[in-house]
């Protein structure tokens, strides 16, 4: 199991609602959350996918947002 953190531009509940179906559809992703109370809007993910980092970056991009590994 791997836990990664990403700086994002997911700013509010509406943004979270937009990205939710994309992240929930991922295989190998156990848990995810976005902390919109911090300046970097940190997305924390836990999963066991082989290319978890790349899959998260691509999925967030498809949802219309940006993410950067921190």
Q: What is the pLDDT of residues 4-39, one digit of tens each?
A: 999 999 999 999 999 999 999 999 899 999 999 999
Per-domain residue ranges for the chain? 2-69
CATH classification of 2-69, choosing from 3.40.50.1240, 3.40.1360.10, 3.30.70.100, 3.40.50.1980? 3.30.70.100
Q: What is the pTM of this model?
A: 0.93
Distance CA 39, CA 41 (A): 6
Q: Is the dihedral of CA 9, 26, 57, 22 positive or negative?
A: negative
């Amino acid at each position: 199991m791997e836990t990664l953190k990403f700086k994002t531009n997911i700013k509010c509940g509406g943004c979270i609602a937009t990205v939710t179906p994309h992240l929930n559809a991922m295989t190998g992703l156990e848990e995810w959350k976005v902390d919109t109370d911090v300046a970097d809007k940190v997305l924390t993910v836990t999963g066991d996918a082989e290319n978890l980092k790349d899959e998260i970056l691509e999925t967030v991009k498809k949802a219309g947002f940006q993410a950067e590994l921190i």
